[in-house]
């Protein structure tokens, strides 16, 4: 019997097949709190490869040699026809992303812009497809318009203030920050015993990783933007600190919003996770903002994962939501009540911008899967967001007078 459940979830299938690591023991002694090591960077590139290179068809034997992190065991019984169909779907998505690119950029660039694209810790299968989709969009845009020079990195090691200063904008491409993958991450944890000793070890590792990452997130990147740089964040990038406003550090203050501790909104009394939303109604809060123009005749967007956001107290009223989920048209999805009480127009945000010091911030909550970048208005908005971050597209971004408005 074919593994139809796994085949339906292409992202999980690929992530399962691309990496294998044994479960960790609670007394593992060779763990290093390096923020991002070379093996992890290689693993990330492997996760992305089938999406970025559709001609690369994984063999059934290769997939079967690995065990997955999901509760569905992988039996490695895809037929050659299924493997080819998998690759054909990736090729079709690739072609649709290319077709979704606008004829030309909204504004000319002052000079060829240097863009640093950081793609790491995409949560294994969960957000690798979305990360790959945006990489395809950027690579094809760079070829089509000749306006961008991309530098792709898959780990943070070696990035300092001098390196950042060489770029016009930084892309945070669906990063999960401290959600480590590989031997010391999710693949290693999945089958490990859920003993108190093991859980304590996991928490210790999380703390070590967070401490190692903090200088980039809370010091280097905010300082770069404050001094005139630009940053754009996509989807799960703001999953770093699922805390309340009083506990957010420099990264959350810079972005002006974070995913709240409940993460996903609720539907029918249950958490509505990835793949359960479908087309959602949108509300354009600033219809005259150039970034929202592509959405003017679009009533719904096919979003497969929503987040619930809160405003850090240090950033209150600084983020300008341009587009959000329309609660009135689809009231069965309920957002965190505390977030709604604090900032109703912000809790369901999809796209926002803000100024930060001399720099600019753009965030798009859409980007869970590869297919979202085949939607022309989303592709256009992300390119406009990049142009805003580089300073080429001038849009109103002064602090709002009321939260999220």
Which tokens is 263 given? 């993460």
Alpha helices in 101-195 (DSSP H): 128-145, 161-164, 186-189
DSSP calls for 355-378: EETTEEEEEE---SSGGGGGSHHH
Task: Return the pLDDT at 76.
Answer: 59
Task: Return the pLDDT at 81.
Answer: 82
CA distance 43 to 19: 7
Task: Return the pLDDT at 69.
Answer: 41
Assessment of whether the complete model's pTM goes beyond 0.75: yes
Phi (first) and psi of residue 223, to 5 degrees: -65, -40
Per-domain boundaries in the chain: 100-390
pLDDT in tens, the chain (405 residues): 333 333 333 433 343 333 333 333 334 445 556 677 777 787 778 778 878 887 776 665 545 444 434 334 445 566 778 778 878 888 999 999 999 999 999 999 999 999 999 998 887 667 888 999 999 999 999 999 999 999 999 988 889 999 999 999 999 999 876 666 655 555 445 455 677 887 777 677 777 777 888 899 999 999 999 999 999 999 999 987 555 555 578 898 899 888 887 778 887 777 777 677 788 999 999 998 999 999 999 999 998 888 988 887 666 668 899 999 998 998 888 887 777 877 888 889 999 999 999 999 999 999 999 999 999 999 999 999 999 999 999 999 887 654 444
Q: Which of 41, 229, 52 is nearest to 139 (CA)?
A: 52
Can you name the CATH fold of 100-390?
A: Rossmann fold (3.40.50)
Q: Which of 210, 203, 237 is nearest to 34 (CA)?
A: 210
* DSSP state, residue 238: G
CA distance 335 to 337: 6
Q: pLDDT by residue (tens digit) across 242-258?
A: 555 555 788 988 998 88
Centroid of chain to Cα 293 = 23
């Amino acid at each position: 019997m074919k593994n139809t459940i796994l085949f339906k979830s292409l992202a999980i299938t690929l992530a399962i097949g691309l990496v294998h690591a044994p479960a960790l023991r609670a007394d593992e002694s060779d763990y290093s709190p390096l923020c991002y090591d070379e093996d992890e960077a290689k693993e990330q590139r492997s996760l992305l490869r089938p999406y970025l290179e559709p001609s690369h068809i994984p063999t059934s034997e290769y997939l079967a040699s690995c065990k997955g992190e999901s509760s569905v065991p992988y039996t490695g019984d895809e037929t050659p026809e299924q493997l080819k169909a998998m690759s054909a779907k990736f090729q079709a998505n690739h072609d649709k992303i290319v077709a979704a690119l606008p004829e030309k950029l909204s504004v000319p660039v002052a000079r060829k812009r240097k863009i640093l694209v950081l793609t790491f810790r995409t949560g294994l299968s969960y957000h690798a497809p979305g990360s790959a989709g945006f990489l395809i969009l950027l690579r094809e845009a760079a070829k089509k318009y000749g306006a961008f020079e991309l530098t792709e990195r898959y780990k943070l090691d070696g990035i300092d203030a001098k390196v950042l200063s060489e770029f016009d904008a930084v892309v945070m491409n669906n990063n999960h920050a401290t959600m480590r993958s590989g031997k010391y991450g999710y693949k290693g944890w999945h089958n490990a015993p859920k003993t108190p000793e093991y859980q304590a070890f996991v928490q210790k590792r999380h703390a070590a990783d967070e401490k190692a990452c903090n200088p980039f997130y809370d010091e280097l990147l905010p300082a770069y933007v404050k001094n005139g740089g630009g940053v754009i964040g996509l989807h799960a990038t703001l999953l770093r600190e699922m805390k309340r406003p009083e506990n957010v550090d420099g990264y959350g203050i810079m972005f002006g919003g974070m995913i709240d501790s409940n993460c996903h909104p609720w539907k029918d009394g249950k958490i509505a996770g990835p793949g359960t939303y479908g087309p959602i109604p949108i509300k354009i809060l600033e219809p005259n903002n150039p970034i929202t123009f592509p959405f003017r005749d679009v009533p719904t967007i096919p979003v497969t994962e929503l987040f619930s956001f809160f405003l850090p107290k240090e950033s209150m009223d600084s983020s300008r939501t341009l587009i959000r989920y329309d609660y009135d048209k689809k009231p069965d999805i309920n957002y965190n009540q505390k977030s709604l009480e604090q900032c109703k127009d912000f809790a369901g945000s999809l796209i926002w911008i803000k100024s930060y010091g001399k720099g600019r911030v753009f965030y798009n909550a859409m980007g869970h899967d590869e297919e979202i970048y085949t939607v022309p208005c989303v592709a256009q908005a992300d390119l406009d967001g990049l142009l805003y971050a580089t300073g080429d597209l001038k849009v109103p971004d002064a602090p709002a007078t009321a939260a999220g408005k």
